[in-house]
Amino acid sequence: MEWAGEVVLTTPRLSLRTYRRDDLPVYADLNRDLEVVEFLGGEPLSPEYTEEIAEWANGLYAREGIGLLAVERREDARFLGMCGLHHLGAYPDDVEIAWRFAREHWGNGYATEAALAWLDYAFNTKGFARVISVTEPPNKRSMAVMRRLGMGFDHKARISEEGEVFDAVIYSIEAQTLLQTQRSGL
């Protein structure tokens, strides 16, 4: 397994890259924060599981050129969280965009900035027809990011993911919608 921290995309403030081993303690702290994981099963994740997630994401990037990869602030190389694309088991024919940031970095526009870069990559580099995002109905913060990205409500569902069954709202966006969003000056 490579832990090289390969930069995949950059934005004005962020580097979106594969994980390095030195990300793991900070990522584990993020995944133990009860407010961060509130809508991700509600239970803190162990450092071992956090490492498995990072290893899986790096492997997915190596195999398919997508993954829920590290987000680093360019000005100080600080690990902020993760964002990227992956296949959600409940929606195998779609690609999902997802993000998770340390609580101290909420409200700075990092999720929107990173996700916009990944959406551009999804449509213009990977050629995906549409991208979805899934969250639980009470997760207003994530739904606000989805709307800022130009995503629209698609449907509600009761889905099972990694053995957990939960109510979900699914938002989606197609390439043309992203282009219109970008033109309108988001």
Residue 64 falls inside a structural domain: yes
Residue 129 is given by DSSP the state S
pLDDT score, position 22: 96
Element (H, E) at 38: none
185: buried, middle or exposed (CB in 10 Å: 19+, 13-18, 0-12)? Answer: exposed
Give the structural domain span for 135: 7-183
* Strand-strand pairing, 91-101 and 130-135: parallel
- Compute φ and ψ for 94, nearest 5 degrees: -115, 165
The rounded distance, in Å, linking the Cα atoms of 31 and 18 is 17
Domain assignment present for 2: no
Q: Is the per-residue pLDDT at 97 higher than 80?
A: yes
- Indicate which CATH number applies to the domain containing 99: 3.40.630.30
Judge whether 178 lies within some domain: yes
pLDDT value of residue 183: 57
Produce one character per residue of 13-39: b if its CB has 16 or more CB atoms within 10 Å, e if not: bbbbbbbbeebbebbbebbeeeebbeb
Residue 41 lies in a domain: yes
177: in domain: yes
Over residues 2-10, the mean pLDDT reads 93
* Backbone torsions φ then ψ of 32, nearest 5 degrees: -95, -10
1: in domain: no
User: What mean pLDDT is predicted for residues 60-80?
Assistant: 97
Domains in the chain, number = 1
Q: If you average pLDDT over every residue of the chain, what do you get?
A: 91
- Tell me, yes or no, whether 131 lies in a domain: yes
Distance, in Å, from the CA atom of 173 to the CA atom of 77, rounded to the nearest integer, reads 31
What's the predicted TM-score (pTM) here?
A: 0.91
Asked whether residue 62 is domain-assigned, the answer is yes
Q: What is the spatial order of strands in the sheet that 14-17 belongs to?
A: 7-10, 14-17, 68-73, 78-88, 91-101, 130-135, 164-174, 152-161
Contact present, 96 and 86 (Cβ < 8 Å): yes
| Whether 145 contacts 115, CB under 8 Å | yes
Token pair 């099972």 in the structure block, residue? 160
Residue 151 has pLDDT above 70, yes or no: yes
